Amino acid sequence: MLRNITLSVFLLILCFSARIIFAQAVSVSVFPAEIIQGEPFLAQIEGATEPSSIKKLTFDGKKVGIFMYQGKPSALVGIDLNKKPGAYELLAEFSDGSIIKKSINIGARKKIETPLGIPDKLGGNTKASQDKLIATLVAEKKSLANIRTGSKALWTEKFIPPLKEIFVTNPYGPSRITGAYSIPHKGTDYRAKIGTEVMAVNRGIVRVTKFYRNYGNTIVIDHGLGLMTYYLHLSKIKVEVGDVVEQRQIIGLSGDTGYTQGAHLHLNVNINNIAVDPVKFFELFQ
């Protein structure tokens, strides 16, 4: 009887010691070091080699998907443009029961406002066209939310910008003032004359190919784990819903369809329905 008790105590001590050693060997790293509203970050589990060793990874209480990157279990987290600045918890729970917590500080983004009129093709700068713009933007945004996503990462390579030549004409973040309304710009506009070839930024499945009043000809690609890229204002769409596209594949041609004041490509990057800064997103993979 005494022998059995001694053995049980020994096993408990051994298990407890193993957890301590594991916790000391494994850590969570975050890139970039400084994060502000509207930006994504990459979390990686240092010292772990298999996603199966991680039971759950959450940020601010919400579960995030895990994929392998640079030989490490990794996760992409999006910070909403309007998320309250402050400290939030990133928590990794492992299959052996151990837990690692890391505090992530989210800084405030500088508020910028710019005027933006309504083109004649959408009614011009009248109160009626302003009201219609907001109503239709809400409807379009709703129709593009909660798109079906794959349970695994569909990509293996780094993400790349959607054009061969990159020049940002309008960045992510500013609020566009249109009459009495303020419309946040939750994507990046790239210079692209009509007919410029637009590439898939990585491997994925086409979920949407549709014309919208404000977004124009639109393509949405699902890269898995809640990561989506949106390509707006196209003059031509060259893929169909359900197509599996590869990185650098030509999916369409840029244009000026929808709510535009000139030809360009508007790109959105969404992580679990949170639109983040595309430029900062691509920097995670440099």
pLDDT in tens, 57-97: 999 999 999 999 999 999 999 999 999 999 999 999 998 89
Q: Which two tokens stand for residue 19?
A: 């957890």
Please tell me the least confidently modeled range out of 47-56, 135-144, 147-156. 47-56
What strand order describes the sheet that includes 175-178? 113-115, 175-178, 181-184
Domains annotated for the chain, with CATH where assigned, are 2-107 (2.60.40.1930), 113-283 (2.70.70.10)
Q: Is the pLDDT of residue 184 over 70?
A: yes
Residues that are catalytic: 264
pLDDT tens-digit profile of 18-43? 343 344 488 999 999 999 999 999 99
Q: Where are the beta strands (DSSP E) in 142-215?
A: 168-170, 175-178, 181-184, 188-190, 197-199, 204-212
Residue 253 and residue 259: Cα distance in Å, rounded? 17
Average pLDDT estimate for 182-188? 97
pLDDT tens-digit profile of 83-137? 999 999 999 999 889 999 999 999 999 999 999 999 999 999 999 999 999 999 9
Q: Please give the mean pLDDT across all residues of the chain.
A: 91
The answer to pTM > 0.75 is yes
Find, among 177, 175, 170, the residue nearest to 265 by Cα. 170
Quick one: 75 exposed, middle or buried, by C-beta within 10 A (0-12, 13-18, 19+)? Answer: buried
DSSP 251-270: EEEEB--SS-SS-BEEEEEE
**Look-up of token digits 């309304």:** 181
Q: What is the pLDDT of residue 1?
A: 52
